[in-house]
Structure 1
Amino acid sequence: MEEYEIIIIGAGPAGLSAGIYAGRQNSKTLLIDKGLTGGLGLEVPAMENYPGYEHINGMKLIEHTKNQCEQYCQINEMENIESITKEENGSFIINTDKDSYHTQNIILATGSKHRQLNVLGEDEFKGRGVSYCATCDGMFFKNRKVLVIGGGNSAAQESIFLTNLGCDVQIVHRRDELRAEKYLTDVLDKKGINVIWNSVVKEIKGSQTVESVILEKTDGSIIEVETDALFVAIGDLPQNELAISLGVKLDDSGYIITDKQQKTNVEHVYAAGDITGGIKQWVVACGEGAVASSIAFNERDL
C-alpha cells in the first residue's frame, strides 16, 4: 500500500490548485478523480473574469492547469473511491476500484453535480435533446430551436454560447427577473435573446427526440413551446457522499462546513471548492485549494 502525505479527492479547479501547492511544498501527493480532470469546469463555455485571461473557455484553462499540476503531483483519473477508513493514529486508508492508499491528510474537492428538473420526460430524453452542457452538446443544435432553463450566470453564459453557435435560443425562467450578473444580462439584451418569464417546466415531450416542452405560468396557465433541445442550468448539488462517510459536518444545504483554513470538524480532513458552497467561482475554488494544501503541509507533523 503506497503512502502519501496528502491525497486530494476531485480534480477540478480546487483540486488541481491544491495539487500544485502541495507538490511545490515537496509533499508526496496523489490526486484522484472518478472522472476526467476538470469536472464541471470543462463545461464552462467562456470566462472573462479569471485573472490573466481576458477570454478563455473552461476546457482550455483546465488543460493549462492540469499540465502544471502534473509537474508536481500524480493524477489518477477514472478511479472511483469505494471507502475511506480512519485509523486510530488519525491517518487514513483509501480504497478505490483500482488500488488502496495510505495518507496523513485528505483534501475533499469533490465539487458538485448538475441539479435536475425531475419532470416527466427528462430521463427519457437525456442525450436525445435534454442536456446539461452547452459546450458538450451545443453543436448538435446549430440553426435549431433550443430552450435554456434557468436564470443565473450559468444559464446566461450557456444561452450566449449557444446563440454564438447559431442556435435559436430562448430562456425559461421561473421568476420575472434574471439573477445573472449585469454584464451577462447586457449581452443577452444585445443579442436579442428572448426570456419566457414566470414559467416552470412541467413536461418534456417528443417521439425519438425532444419536440416540445410544457410550461406552467405563475398564473396557472399552461403553454406548449416547440423546441429541439432543452439545456438545463438550474444549479448544482454537492457531491458529499465521502464527506458524510467520514463524519464531516455539513450545512443545511449539504455543503461541507470549513473554517478559514479550510479545516473540517474531522482532524486532517480539509475541503475546498464548490463542495464548500459559498461563492462558486473558479478563482475562489483555486484559492481554497491553495489554502487547504498549505495548511495540511504546515500541520502534517503536529
Structure 2
Amino acid sequence: SEQAKAVIVATGSTPRRAGFKGEDEFFGKGVSTCATCDGFFYKNKEVAVLGGGDTAVEEALYLANICSKVYLVHRRDEFRAAPTTVEKARKNEKIEFITSATVKEALGDNTGLTKIVLDTKNGERVLDVPGIFTFVGLNVNNEILKDENGKFICEMADGGQVKTNLKMQTSLKGLFVAGDIREDAPKQVIVAAGDGAVAALSAMSYIESLH
C-alpha cells in the first residue's frame, strides 16, 4: 500500500465539561464555552464565568465590556491566572468574585437558562443569570498522534499540544499540524484556518524537496 509523503493533522480540541447538573441540557441555551462567540447575546445582562485560569479571567474582563455584571466563580481562593490579570479584574466594578464555590446546578425553562445554584463556603447561593461561560480547560484531540504503544510520535508540549515551528512542522519530518492541536494556539477559527494554509504550503514545499 502507498504511504503519504506528508500529513497534516488538524483534529482540534474539545472544551472540558465542568460537570454540573443541567450543563448538557442548557449547552448552547445559556451555557457557553466562548465569550467572543456568544457574549453579545447578553448585552446589558448579568452573566457568570466559571474558572480560575487566564482564559476565565480574561473572558470575564471581555464580558464586563458588554454585560451589566459578571460573577467570576472559582472553586479555590487562589487563581492560576496571571496576577496582573486578576488584579485588573478585581479593580473592575462590574466583576464580582465568588471564590471557594462550585456550580451545583443550572436551571431554566424552554427558552433557556434562567439561574444557577452555587455551593459556597457560606452555603447555597442562587444567581439569576441567563448565561454562564465555563472555562475549565480543553482536551486536545491528540490520540491520532500515538503509536501502537501509546507513545506520541512527535515532540509534545504541556497540556497535550504539539510543538511546532512557524511552518507548522513537527519534530517528525513530513508531519504538520494546524489549529488548536498546536502549542500556543489562540483557539480561534480564523487562526486555525491560517494555520491550515501555512501547513498546506509547508507540506507542498516538503514534498517538492524530496524530488
Q: TM-score, normalised by structure 1?
A: 0.53
Deviation at 1:121, TM superposition (A): 0.5
Alignment of 1:129-140 (within 5 A): 129-140=30-41
Unaligned stretches of 5+ residues in structure 1: 1-86, 92-103
**Among 39, 45, 52, the residue aligned to 1:144:** 45
Are residue 255 (structure 1) and residue 131 (structure 2) matched? no
- How far apart, in 2, do the equivalents of 1:301 and 1:257 lie? 24
- How far apart, in 1, do the equivalents of 2:40 and 2:105 lie? 24
- How far apart, in 1, do the equivalents of 2:43 and 2:161 lie? 40
Given that 1:249 and 1:256 are in contact with CA atoms closer than 8 Å, whether structure 2 keeps it comes out as no
Structure 1 pair 139–252 and aligned structure 2 pair: CA distance change class (3 A): closer
Given that 1:263 and 1:271 are in contact with CA atoms closer than 8 Å, whether structure 2 keeps it comes out as no
Deviation at 1:234, TM superposition (A): 1.5
Provide the aligned length of Structure 1 versus Structure 2: 196
Given that 1:262 and 1:272 are in contact with CA atoms closer than 8 Å, whether structure 2 keeps it comes out as no
Larger RCO, structure (CA 8 Å, separation 6 or more): 2
Structure 1 pair 256–141 and aligned structure 2 pair: CA distance change class (3 A): closer
Are residue 194 (structure 1) and residue 102 (structure 2) matched? no
Structure 1 pair 188–241 and aligned structure 2 pair: CA distance change class (3 A): same
**AA of the residue aligned to 2:171:** K
**AA of the residue aligned to 1:167:** S
Deviation at 1:292, TM superposition (A): 9.9
Given that 1:122 and 1:130 are in contact with CA atoms closer than 8 Å, whether structure 2 keeps it comes out as yes
Unaligned stretches of 5+ residues in structure 2: none
Alignment of 1:1-302 (within 5 A): 87-88=1-2, 90-91=3-4, 104-192=5-93, 193-208=95-110, 209-217=112-120, 219=121, 221-243=123-145, 249=152, 255=160, 262-264=170-172, 268-271=174-177, 274-276=180-182, 279-280=184-185, 297-298=205-206, 300-301=209-210
SS of equivalent to 2:75 = coil
SS of equivalent to 1:216 = strand
Work out the percentage of aligned pairs sharing the same amino acid: 33
Q: TM-score, normalised by structure 2?
A: 0.73
